[in-house]
Structures are given as structure tokens and as C-alpha cells.
Amino acid sequence: MNAHTNSSPLILITVPVFVANPANLEQSSAPESWYLALLGFAEHFRTSSPPKIRLCVHCLQAVFQFKPPQRVEARTHLQLGSVLYHHTKNSELARSHLEKAVRESLGKLDDGTRDALVENLVDSAKPLLRKAIQISQQTPYWHCRLLFQLAQLHTLEKDLVSACDLLGVGAEYARVVGSEYTRALFLLSKGMLLLMERKLGEVHPLLTLCGTIVENWQGNPIQKESLRVFFLVLQVTHYLDAGQVKSVKPCLKQLQQCIQTISTLHDDEILPSNPADLFHWLPKEHMCVLVYLVTVMHSMQAGYLEKAQKYTDKALMQLEKLKMLDSSPILSTFQVILLEHIIMCRLVTGHKATALQEISQVCQLCQQSPRLFTNHAAQLHTLLGLYCISVNCMDNAEAQFTAALRLTTHQELWAFIVTNLASVYIREGNRHQELYSLLERINPDHNFPVSSHCLRAAAFYIRGLLSFFQGRYNEAKRFLRETLKMSNAEDLNRLTACSLVLLGHIFYVLGNHRESNNMVVPAMQLASKIPDMSVQLWSSALLKDLNKALGNTIDAHEAAQMHQNFSQQLLQDHIAACSLPEHNLISWTDGPPPGQFQAQNGPTTSLASLL
């Protein structure tokens, strides 16, 4: 039995990039066919798996042979600099191209190119942006845009305090110039950063203020609904971070209704009379994916895994369509977060081979973007640790969780990893010193390190599991009843099922067969509904022994048949997973993810824990 918790701290909401209203941008002339051809080849090579960066660079360099207009030349220098910066170690050449792009008429570049330059030349950009902010106070649109841009740069550098300060300045400026819409955007962005900083005491009053502003603002219907989506996404994320799966349901329902409303609205926009209102948060197609994503998060924590899989499939299909037309980095971020959640789903439902292939897919996405890998390396090692538990590779699981702990500063993810690492030490049975050291750091009775209801309930379960293995059954029952009380309060179905079956096992060992049956039967029903293959296997084994002890021969035979079926399914999946070349990922604990995998000759792990 592994101890995956229902909590899903594998998500860090990304601060959105605010862009100018397209209706306000100058339309560029149609590019030459040779330019489109070279650009298409370059993008094909860049997005190949693995990326063919040398060929991509050759295509971009070929643009200069045609003596293009200054605008095209500047943009090509930007593209070359960006590719070299993100995919090679030649930082000097990358900087040279980026600086040429700046020199060749920054003032004549379109907004998207200018924003990309700012992002690539972070160190040079910040003083320039600060100066521009000082002299732009009489032009509301540019003053707000520059504040958003500088806040974005501070966020990329993990300087969330400075970013929050700038967003606060922007909110006050927007209020002074009479733009309640943009004031709400600044405040909601600040609320997002406060959630990332875990400053939950400041989040609640800020969200209350934002709710009032959003409801009172009368303006463009799409802008109003997009504000509501932003506000509700933050509310839902706030609840889920706290592990309050039941309490979040009304907000989640509002969010789903809101995105349905947006999908019926036309994009025909009337330009706002206030220039400070010329912003939008995300395209509505991106918002749809984001709503699918938070629905998946909720379904995962609640243990509705079939629902989580359904919404993940919808979101990934939508992302594939969007990525054909849009290279926005946030789409890759959404894709990775969705895959992280569906991988946990697969491990619980007994589809380890599919989960492993999806872990490999995340590795490939991270290979294409160093920033994506930096932001998700800890989650990737955590997923590999969970996979290792599922195939009984405990030494590898420990190594993966240790690597993840080294890479994360996120408190909820840290607590999630420690909880699962503790389950590894409990199963190994000979790591007492390390285990007690970990348990002291996640003591649910005293100074629990995070505010998550779900993670605290999981910590009680881990203590109950340890007490069970040590034969301290009364103590185990106390911890597990606490888990049940907390999981029932917030509909944490997986934790409920795990606690019930473990309590049933304890009562069986104590000879109280009737009470054991009262625990195991509902555990089996709940596990079938989730569905959780490990709990079904465990429950069917107990039901077989219980019914035999109670003299129910027919029921005992049915339970034995169920147990045999579950064992066979898990055994086949185990063999399939361990035979994949991607299984070698369990040995990767440092540096970037490997690009190639050697084929396995066959399973290398013990199957005893499955049978």
C-alpha cells in the first residue's frame, strides 16, 4: 500500500503576461514568402524531439542573406539571441544578437517583439523600465504596461516582494486615473503572488476587495467575465491549497458557469474610452484550459479520478489545437501541470506503464525549455518517486524524493514529498532514525508546517500506518480515526478509503471480524468508485479472509476471485512498465532529464508486494 496523499501541490499558478488589446496595435505588412519559409523551417527544427538547434540557427542566419528590412532584421536578431540563450551555452553570442536587436530601432518594433527583448535582456531591462516608468506617468496605458512588465521580470527572478510592491503601486495609479478594471487586474495579480508566497492572511482581504470591484465594474462583457474568471481561479486555488475540497465546490461551480458565459460572447470589441483599460488577462481559449486545469486539481484531491481523466483529456486536446497556432510559453506550462496530475491519476488507477510514458513526455517538454525544467524539476522527481513506490523500487524512490527535496522551496510540495518518503521508510522497516526525524517535521498534532487540511490528514494516516506496523493498534486507531474525521469533513475520498481498509485490517488482527467487515466493505465500495487499484487489492484480500473466518463460503470465493483479478491486472501492468526503456528514468537524480533511454530486458523489481 503506498501513501500517495489526495493533496496535489504539484501546481504553481503562473503570473500571466498582460498584452495590449490587439485592436490598438498597428498591423504590419505581409512578410515575404522566403522569410516565412525560413521561419517555418527554423521553428520546425526548434520544436523537433530532440530539438535540432544547429539547423534552427542556420535557418535564422540565412535571413540576413536576403538584406531584409530593418524591422525583420531586428526581429531575427531577437529570435537568434533567444534560441542561443535558451538552448546553448553560448551566452556571449546570444547577448550580442539581443543587443543588436535593441540597437536596430527598438522604437520601431511591434509590442510582442519589444516584450520578448525585455524578457531576454533582464539585467539591462530593469533600469530602463524603471526610468520609463518615471517619465510615463502622464500616459496611463504605457505607465500601467511598464509596471506590469517590470513586475513580471521580478516574478521571473523569484523576487515576489518587489513584484507585489509594483503591482500595489499600479493598483493605486489605476484608481487615480479612474480605471477600476485595470486596478482589479493589478490587485488580482498581487493576490496570485501572495498565494505563491503563502501569505494567506493578506490574501483573504485582498480577494474580498477584488470581488467587490469585479461585481461593481460595468464595462465590456468579455473583460468583465475575464475578471470574474481570474478572481474565481484565485479563490478556487486558495481553497485547494488549504485542502478544502468540499468547501470549494460553490466557487468551482461559479467558475465553470462563468467560462460557459464567456464562450458565448463575441470578440467584437468596443475600444474603452479610458486608455488605461487597454489590457486583457488571457485569451478566452486559454481561460477554458485553465478552468479545465483547476477542475482536474479538485477532482484529484477529492478522489474523483475518472472525472479528472475526462477533464485532462479535454484540456490536452484543446492545448494541442492551440499550440498549432500559438507559441505562448503558458500553454506548455498548462500542459506540464495537466500531465503531472494525470500521472498521479494513472499510478492510483493501476496504469503505471502509461504514467511512465507521460513522465517521459514531461521530460521532453522540459528539454525544450530550461525555465520550464527549472520550475518543474522537483515535481518531476516527485512523480518518479511515486512511480518507484508503485513498482516496489524503494531505494530509487528514496533517491528521487531526496532529489526533489533538494530542488523545491514550495512548502506544500515539501510536505507532500516528506509524507511519501516517510511511507518508503516505513515499508523498508530498517530506517528508524531517518523515519523519526521526518515524522518530527510533519507532526500533525504540533506545529504542522503547512495550512493544508488534506496534508495534515495524510500526516495522521502515516502515523497510523507506522503504529500498525509496530503493533501499537490502539494508537494506530486514534490516528486513523483522526484521518477519517478530517477526510470526511472535506470529502477526501482516497484518504477515507485508505483509512477504512487499514482500520479493517487492525480489527481483523485483533479478532473483531464484525467490526473489520464494517470497515472493509465501505472501503471496497469507495475504492471501486475512485477507482484505486491498490486499495481494491488490499480490501479484496481482507474480504476473502474475513468471509472465510465468518463462514461465508460463497462470499469468500467471490472475494478470492476479485483478488486474483486485481493481482493479474497489477502484475501485467508492472511487467509492462518495467520493460519500457523509460523505466531507466528511475536512476536519473541530477542535472537535466536524459534524452535517450536504453531498452530493458525485463522487470527488475520484486512483484511480491503486488500479490
Summarize pLDDT for 67-125 with one digit per residue, the tens.
888 778 877 887 888 788 777 777 778 777 876 765 654 444 444 545 555 555 556 66
C-alpha angle with apex 151: 125 to 452, nearest 5 degrees?
140
**How far is 328 from 543, CA to CA, in rounded Å?**
52
Residue 171 has pLDDT above 70, yes or no: yes
Average the pLDDT over each of 23-27, 179-183, 525-529, 607-611 and give the range with the smallest value: 23-27
**Residue range 432-473, pLDDT digits in tens:** 999 999 999 999 988 898 888 999 999 999 999 999 999 999
The larger pLDDT score, comparing residue 239 to residue 114, is at: 239
CA distances from 195 to 358, 382, 574 (A): 28, 22, 39
Share of residues in the chain with pLDDT > 90 (%)? 56
Give the residue carrying C-alpha cell 504514467. 355
Tell me how far the alpha carbon of residue 561 is from its chain's centroid: 39
188-205 burial: b if 16+ Cβ within 10 Å, else e: bbbbbbbbbeeeeeebee
Q: For the chain, what is the mean pLDDT?
A: 85
Residue 348 has pLDDT above 60, yes or no: yes
Q: What 3-state DSSP class applies to 20?
A: strand
Give the residue carrying C-alpha cell 504539484. 10
**How far is 333 from 289, CA to CA, in rounded Å?**
11
Residue among 388, 288, 391, 374 nearest 338 (CA):
288
**Residue range 150-159, pLDDT digits in tens:** 898 888 888 9
The pLDDT, as a whole number, for residue 133 is 85
Mean pLDDT of 250-256: 94
The pLDDT, as a whole number, for residue 267 is 66
**How far is 45 from 36, CA to CA, in rounded Å?**
14
**How far is 165 from 194, CA to CA, in rounded Å?**
11
**Residue range 467-518, pLDDT digits in tens:** 999 999 999 999 999 999 999 999 999 999 999 999 999 999 999 999 999 9
The pLDDT, as a whole number, for residue 125 is 65
The pLDDT, as a whole number, for residue 18 is 33
Q: How many helices (H) and strands (E) does the chain have?
A: 26, 2
The pLDDT, as a whole number, for residue 32 is 66
Q: What 3-state DSSP class applies to 103?
A: helix
C-alpha angle with apex 79: 76 to 83, nearest 5 degrees?
140
**How far is 49 from 364, CA to CA, in rounded Å?**
7
**How far is 3 from 5, CA to CA, in rounded Å?**
6
At 27, the pLDDT band (50, 70, 90 cuts) reads very low
578 touches 388 (CB < 8 A): no
* Single-letter code of the amino acid located at 506: I
The larger pLDDT score, comparing residue 20 to residue 47, is at: 47
Handedness of CA 79, 82, 83, 88 (dihedral sign): positive
Share of residues in the chain with pLDDT > 70 (%)? 87
Mean pLDDT of 7-28: 31
Residue 371 has pLDDT above 90, yes or no: no
**Residue range 555-607, pLDDT digits in tens:** 999 999 999 999 999 999 999 999 999 999 999 999 988 876 654 544 444 44
Give the residue carrying C-alpha cell 485542502. 243
